Amino acid sequence: MKLLVTGATGHLGSLIVKALLERVPAERIAVSVRDPQKAAALAEQGVDVRRGDFDDPASLEQAFAGVDRLLIVSTDGDTQTRIRQHANAVEAARNAGVGFIAYTSAPNAQESELFLAEVHRETENAIRATGIPYAFLRNNWYIENEAGAIQGIVAGAPLVTSAENGKVGWAARSDYAEAAAAVLAGDRHDNKVYELGGPLRSYADLASATSEALGREVPVQQVDDDAYADIMKSAGVPEFALPIVVAIQQAIRAGTLAVESNDLENLIGRPATPLTQAIKEIAGVQ
């Protein structure tokens, strides 16, 4: 049985392939990447490296040929570009006769008002419409998304937020990757929707975990959205990205990411990596 992961040289995709290699022989694993040269290290391990460009549907169909179980890792970019690219991948999977599609989605994708959810809602619907068995891996927030804030804290800044007491299911990217590998290499996952994330926590909780990781108190600075945007701008966030980072805080404040579930720990067979441990790794402390 051939398993294929798209975007295998990206942050999440590379970790998924690493987790797969711990579960199944390399010859059962294929990857689809835009530039095969960047996946040379995987080829050296015996992984089947194929060229697949989300903007080149024919290349995707060729990459997916002979694949039994496919994992589509969501792409980056603006909403319409991602919807188009994901539709290309779904159609290529259908044309190639793929038997199962897993997809990295977003929390509560069908009902969520998070601005990022439209991409995932459209993609989930496209996958369902093929009639191919599927699993939706609805990843909550990566703790690595807070790397900039954590590095700022290391340098002496407070933890700044406008999310008030909104809750987030932060988990380490490696945990999400392990869950994806378990689904792709496993069975009994047909037509399942997994809400993946760690225990729900607020930014105050994140500050407490960071305090524990760094061995010193981390203050929390609660501000309004305008002040948050100003602080992020002064911290070096580009002008075009400011509405995005503010919208994320607004979504958290509104409870959009407060999706409680045990699916992650059930799939990986253990509790999520403790936040303090993940924060230490991000901060570069022992």
Q: Three-state SS for 122? A: helix
- If asked whether residues 19 and 55 sit together in one domain, one would say yes
Burial 141-174 (b: 16+ CB within 10 A, else e): bbbbebeebbebbbeebebbbbbeebbbbbbbbb
Instruction: Give 190-244 pLDDT, tens digit per residue.
Output: 999 999 999 999 999 999 999 999 999 999 999 999 999 999 999 999 999 999 9
Q: How many CB atoms lie within 10 A of CB 65?
A: 16
Low-confidence ranges of the chain (pLDDT < 70): none
Say if 191 falls within a structural domain: no
pLDDT of residue 286: 72
Domain for residue 179, yes or no?
A: no
Q: Is residue 69 included in any domain, yes or no?
A: yes
Whether 98 and 161 map to the same domain: the answer is no
Cβ-Cβ contacts under 8 Å for 49 (sequence gap 6 or more):
30, 31, 33, 36, 39, 40, 42, 43
Give the residues across from 100 on adjacent strands: 69
pLDDT number for residue 123 = 98
Between CA 69 and CA 134 the distance in angstroms is: 9
Please check whether residue 50 lies inside any domain of the structure.
yes
Beta pairing partners, 160: 221
- What token pair was written down for 192? 């399942």
Number of residues that this document lists for the chain? 286
pLDDT at 66: 98
Cβ-based neighbours of 1, under 8 Å, separated by 6 or more: 28, 68, 69
The reply to whether 13 and 49 lie within a common domain is yes
Residues 250 and 154 in one domain: yes
**Domain boundaries, position 158:** 141-172+197-259+273-286
Tell me which amino acid residue 4 is. L
3-class state of residue 85 by DSSP = helix
Q: In what order do the strands lie in the sheet with 192-196?
A: 48-51, 29-33, 3-6, 69-72, 100-105, 134-139, 192-196
Q: Are 53 and 211 contacting, i.e. CB atoms less than 8 angstroms apart? A: no
Instruction: Compute the distance between CA of residue 145 and CA of residue 14 in angstroms, rounded to an integer.
Output: 17
Q: Report how many domains make up the chain.
A: 2
In a domain, 83, yes or no: yes
CA nearest to 2, candidates 62, 66, 45, 53 = 66
Residue 89 lies in a domain: yes
Furthest-apart CA atoms within the chain: distance in Å: 56
The answer to whether 49 and 43 have CB atoms below 8 angstroms apart is: yes
Is the same domain home to 51 and 102? yes
Q: Does this model's pTM top 0.85?
A: yes
* Residue 70 shares a structural domain with residue 150: no
Q: Please tell me the distance from the alpha carbon of residue 192 to that of residue 206, in angstroms, as a whole number.
A: 30
